[in-house]
Structure 1
Amino acid sequence: MTHKQTTLAIFAVPVLLLATAFLGNIFVEGWNWSKFDFLVAGILLFGTAGLISLVRMVVKNRNYKIIISLVIVAILVLVWMELAVGIFGTPFAGS
């Protein structure tokens, strides 16, 4: 897989996730995302994809690339959970 194809795949994941959320918002009852929710999700997902892409270009050691990318994804998951249900109880917590 070429560098261009890998980069395309990295940025295709947020597109597919947001498209899935959009379709869920249309067809699933009880799924009520606002425009702001999509904006925040897009920023989080594309920001994560951008950071991972940057790590792929800058970091030379393969093991470090994997570890740093996993840390970035773990941070995304924790922020997403906090915004969704408030696992840490910050002022940004949802529900």
Structure 2
Amino acid sequence: MKTKRILIIVLIVGALLLIPFIGMQFSEDVDWSGFDFLIMGILLLGTGLLIDLALRKIPDTKNRIIVSGIILAVFFLIWAELAVGIFGTPLAGS
């Protein structure tokens, strides 16, 4: 059962990474390097696994939603920082 959940998460991450890969075939506006795919794959996989862990370990539905929301918020903040540099750290992509 655990292996099945991990496989589903990995397949979803792969499907999400196909979006920019396909976009690169049709437009020069999408310009990802192998490193970009690696970093986003790590972020998506880590987010998916953390949410899965929260859903399995936290018994209360309200707390599951709160923790999952926090995990997603952190993911989106890291993604935004890497993409456009909303905080201006050295990790910023712009």
TM-score of the pair, normalised by structure 1? 0.86
Segments ≥4 residues shifted beyond 3 Å: 3-13
Percent identity between the aligned chains? 46
Structure 1, unpaired ranges of 5+? none
**Counterpart amino acid of residue 18 in structure 2:** A
Match of 1:46, SS state, is helix
Once the 2 structures are TM-superposed, how far is the Cα of residue 12 of structure 1 from its aligned partner? 4.2
1:56 corresponds to 2:81: no
How many residues are paired up?
Answer: 94
1:44 corresponds to 2:43: yes
Structure 2, unpaired ranges of 5+? none
- Does the Cα contact within 8 Å between 2:9 and 2:45 map onto a contact in 1? no
Match of 2:23 in 1: 24
Match of 1:74 in 2: 73
CA root-mean-square deviation: 2.1
TM-score of the pair, normalised by structure 2? 0.87
Once the 2 structures are TM-superposed, how far is the Cα of residue 62 of structure 1 from its aligned partner? 0.7
